[in-house]
Structure 1
Amino acid sequence: MCRVPGPTLADIARAAEVSHALNGTGRVGDATRRRVRETATRLGYGTPGPPRTRTLGIAVTTFPAAWNYTDIAYFSRAVTAATSAAHARGYALITLPADRAADDAWHHLAVDGMLIMDSPRGDPMVRALRARGIPLVFDGAPGDPRPGDHWVDNDHESTVREVLDHLSASGARRVALQSGSGDEHYARAVTAAYERWCADHSTPPLVIPFDETDDEGHAFDPLLQDGEDGEGRVDAVYAAYDPGGRQLLAAAARHGLRVPDDLRVVCASEDPAYAETTPPVTTVTLAPDQMAHAAVAVLVALIEDDGTAPRGPVSIPAGLIVRASSATRPAQPA
């Protein structure tokens, strides 16, 4: 098989209108060096051949700022499960920091494949790794999907409908959603499913943006009191992010509302501590362990090109764990 030669350093230098940036000589500013590396990636310089490192990478690229995603129960469990799955297949796994805006490490990252979680639209890490030809698998649908992409995800439509139907069956009549304000697929999918359910039930949607710093749940205040328009307060909330359940419990306590008699609460979370709150909170598990194991299996199949990689997305069922916070309200005496 004849291999087409790749671009030379001179080709890269001409395309980027600089020299000495890739070989480390001369005085080159950081911005110029980054531009040269991006040009090299685009032209295919240094594209890896067959797997050599026996190493996989994992990263969360939802937000460009630095944050420790392993503090979040979902990501912590996913990283642990992905590590176990990689080791079982003879691969190491490295965890990359989240601050993708200030780091261009993906232009020379020495991995055989990459597992990317919650990739938003316009993700620069994805763009660079695609150009290098590194196999990618996404946890959650990618922001910029392409034909032939591989990802593992939950069925958010059916999950949201299961939660809302459960709350409706428990007696709730005005159900609000706390959802993310970011650009990741999860927030958009959950919000869209909630709005479709509301349309089917002829009820106006009430969406509260998630704020991780709002420990006391002040964002819920307008919904937990009767409105001036004559609309009553909400009697149930589905919080799509981990801290939302605690925020709702705090807000209910400030307003003198009883959970679940006055306010039913459901939260998407992997935190086992929700089983010990007062009252215990109903949670939705997005099954991060199964998601990670499935994603690593697909990624290794792509790397080793063994023909076992699925043709389309892999769906992992979520689960509703019902606890006291969403119990049916006792019937009132006649």
Structure 2
Amino acid sequence: MSRVSGPTIADVARAAEVSTATVSHALNGTGRVAETTRRRVRAVATALGYGAPGTAPGTGPRSRTLGLAVTTFAGSPWNFVAVSYFARWLTAATAAAHARGYALTTLPADRGAEALWHTLAVDGMLLLDSPEGDPVLRALRARGIPVVFDGRPAVPHPQDVWVDNDHAATTREVLDHLAAAGARRIALHGGFGREHYTRAVAEAYGAWCAERGRPVLAVRFDPEDAAGHALDGVLAGHGESGRPESGRTEPADAADAVYSLYDPGGRQVLAAAARHGLAVPDRLLVVCASEDPAYASTEVPVTTVTLQPELIAETAVAALVARIERPAAGGPGRHTVPAGLLPRASSHRPGPPPGTSR
């Protein structure tokens, strides 16, 4: 009768991201090891069942618990639940997990939660917006915990599963929509994170502009820039009336439309437009990727793009549970959820009066 071997010191070292010597010192109370490292190594060893006979990673009883982490800025003390996309994702994922008999644990995004990445007792993890070099993903892979991603991982492994929108197709739909409304110089308000979403949209935007000979007007989004000062450069050259200043022609690179990629971005664009005296939509067209319903009731209702967070969450939870319960049947791959353009007044210029031409 063969004996099932338990986790080794090397397994603990990989999961804790330290050397085997550090594990030995931490567990034996020897050597020069920082107390925080010593506690983390011991917690990892306990979570893996190191030293318990007849146990091995992944062979213990299921916890019937799924984990969730937003790792775009893992370790940064930011409240992602305040963002409509993540709030709606979390609500839908909780319902989907409960419907399948699982609890859902959400990890905070601050540095104090780092030990949880190595010790959290879950059957699988949902990772949202995982960037290149993601420390949470590295710890989960070392522990052999199944993962399903919202958004393509930066460096996919052969067996990875992720759920995402077709960001290239969505970007082209937005840009075509603005061009059809008369926009000729469309600025992209983004470039904040390092996740796949940001890169995919920026690449599609650049390709669309190149194909049509349009200028690339990239503006870096800043979550603290409530007044939209980052947009001043691409909106410059207009007087208070929203027309070029007296004696000047409109700059060739002044934007007549903005596509903002993040939830607060639409409000920043509106604030910048008001400061420059640009009436929306007469002088500036606006589209924002956001799940915030308040955009439907601003003074000029803002056209938004929904990434369908509820459908993405449902699909991701179903895929993760399949990986846990039927690992042999759950293969790798991408699940694509269509995004949706919700046109409103901010991206439609009023037509000319009857009997006139534009």
Mapped pair 1:281 → 2:281: no
Cα 1:14/1:121, change in 2 over 3 Å: closer
Amino acid at match of 1:47: P
Q: Is the 8 A contact 1:245 1:267 kept in 2?
A: yes
The reply to whether residue 142 of structure 1 matches residue 153 of structure 2 is yes
Match of 2:20 in 1: 15
Superposed, 1:11-160 pairs within 5 Å as 15-17=20-22, 19=24, 21-22=26-27, 28-33=33-38, 36=41, 47-63=57-73, 64-100=75-111, 103-160=114-171
- Where do 5+ consecutive residues of structure 1 fail to align? none
Deviation per CA, 1:120-159: give whole Å up to 9, x if none: 1111111111111110000111122111100000000000
- 1:226 deviation in Å? 2.7
In the alignment, the residues of structure 2 paired with residue 272 and residue 253 of structure 1 have an alpha-carbon distance, to the nearest angstrom, of 21
- Structure 2 contact 65–105 (Cα < 8 Å) conserved: yes
How many residue pairs align between the two structures? Answer: 333
* More displaced 10-residue stretch of structure 1: 308-317 or 16-25: 16-25
Q: How many angstroms apart in 1 are the aligned matches of 2:268 and 2:19? A: 56
CA distance in 1, matches of 2:42, 2:151: 28
- SS at 2:105 equivalent: strand
Closer/same/farther in 2, CA of residues 44 and 100 from structure 1, 3 Å limit: farther
Give yes or no for contact 1:51–1:303 (8 Å, CA) kept in 2.
no
Q: Which structure 2 segments of 5+ residues have no match?
A: 51-55, 239-247
Displacement of 1:187 after TM fit? 0.8
TM-score (ref. length: structure 2) = 0.85
Q: Please say if residues 284 and 319 of structure 1, whose CA atoms lie closer than 8 Å, have aligned partners that are also in contact.
A: yes
Does the 8 A contact of 2:107 with 2:113 survive in 1?
no
| 1:44/1:131 contact within 8 Å kept | no
Aligned to 1:170: 181
Q: Name the % identity.
A: 59
**What value does the CA root-mean-square deviation take over the aligned residues?**
3.0
| Contact kept in structure 1, 2:6 and 2:57, CA below 8 Å | no
Deviations 1:237-289 (A, max 9, x none): 00000011111111111111110010000000000000000100000000000
Q: Which amino acid aligns with 2:261?
A: A
Using the TM superposition, give the Cα deviation of residue 28 of structure 1 relative to its aligned residue in structure 2, in angstroms: 4.9
Which of the two has higher C-alpha Rg?
A: 2
1:50 positional shift: 4.7
Displacement after TM superposition at 1:29 (Å): 2.1
1:38 and 1:128 in contact (8 A); partners too: no
